Amino acid sequence: MPVTVPAPPAAPYVHLRAAAGGGVKRWLLHGLLRAGVRRPRLDVSDLGRLRRQNASFDRRFGRVDPWLRRLPVEAAGVGAEWITAPESRAERVLFYLHGGAFCLRFPNTHAALAGRWCRRLAARALLVDYRLAPEHRYPAAVDDCVAAYRWLLTQTAPEHIVIAGDSAGGNLALATLHRLKAEALPLPRCAVLLSPVVDFTLSSPSLLTNAARDPMFTLEKLTALRLLYAAPEQFLEPALSPLFGDFAGFPPLLFQAGEIELLRDESIRAAARAHAAGVTVEVDIWRDMAHVFQALPLPQAAIAEARIADFIERHAGWTRAA
């Protein structure tokens, strides 16, 4: 299926963003990522060890605002967590799908990330704890996200819902939209997608052009991780590779990605497909930034968050908290 791939910032909806400051911190963080994430050999046969390492990282660095309240909930049998801030208005819901290569969780990191958006937008967030691979392979995660969204519709009007996700969660956000559309369910007002995985065939040019620049991933690791989640004969299914679905009728989409990450062009290609289908799209490519940099303590993350808040305010009508 041919897909036009505009190079940033060739398309009018693609913007190359930059922000001053944080150079030394960024250099240190990227160095830590290269040493701790990129260089160690990925042993998918010892996923338990990988999960313990990531849980330790999450406990150490996932700093959740003490003003946030976290409440576990069952969403139609799917584990989830409500994140509520002092500013939250009950009717505004951020339906957030976490990243983690479909096989990992970072509960504190993602609660902190979603919580910052909640405070800025006077909303609350529902973080979906979907089933993980390889114990639960595709389409289990998508099934859980759709079930949780159906549950949310029983208590919140769709015009008050914004869907968002990062990395694998960005994939699931787009896959969920495809499934909701196919099942004629009401869609949320807009979607925010941070470095989403959209093409399991691994055909994006940046997988090669950024091979030496990405401080987190290698093509070898992405190839190994995708097989934990799905089989090759499934790679073209829209609920697995959302790039190959029909975007017509989707709500407005905001993509954000780092300029130096392997997955940069996933956002550009998906936005091109959506734009061709008549969907309102915006793409922010952040100079010298890595995968899901919005979760890192960098000045660029704060400015990217302000861009997200502006997009949601324009398309969902959520006025920002004072």
CB of 267 closer than 8 Å to CB of 193: yes
Active site residue 135: no
Domains of the chain: 14-38+56-316 (3.40.50.1820)
Q: Looking at per-residue confidence, does 121 or 297 come out higher?
A: 121
Alpha-carbon distance of 266 to 293, in angstroms, equals: 16
Name the strand (E) or helix (H) holding 257. Answer: strand 253-258
Active site residue 291: yes
Name the strand (E) or helix (H) holding 114. Answer: helix 107-121
What confidence tier does 94 reach under pLDDT thresholds 50, 70, 90?
very high
- For residue 315, which of 187, 166, 198 has the smallest C-alpha distance? 187
Packing angle between helix 168-182 and helix 140-153, nearest 10 degrees? 60
Q: What is the spatial order of strands in the sheet that 69-75 belongs to?
A: 14-17, 281-286, 253-258, 190-194, 161-166, 93-97, 124-128, 78-84, 69-75
| Annotated catalytic residue, options 88, 167, 195, 206 | 167
pLDDT computed for residue 8 by the predictor: 57
- Please say if the pLDDT value at position 4 is more than 50: no
Alpha-carbon distance of 131 to 78, in angstroms, equals: 8
CB of 171 closer than 8 Å to CB of 229: no
- pLDDT tens for 236-280 read 999 999 999 999 999 999 999 999 999 999 999 999 999 999 999
What confidence tier does 3 reach under pLDDT thresholds 50, 70, 90?
very low
Burial 135-170 (b: 16+ CB within 10 A, else e): ebbbbbbbbbbbbbbebbeeebebebbbbbbbbbbb
Pairing of strands 78-84, 124-128: antiparallel
Active site residue 206: no
Q: What is the mean pLDDT of residues 4-23?
A: 77
| Annotated catalytic residue, options 261, 267, 275, 315 | 261
| Annotated catalytic residue, options 30, 98, 160, 291 | 291
- Radius of gyration for the alpha carbons in the chain, expressed in angstroms and rounded: 18
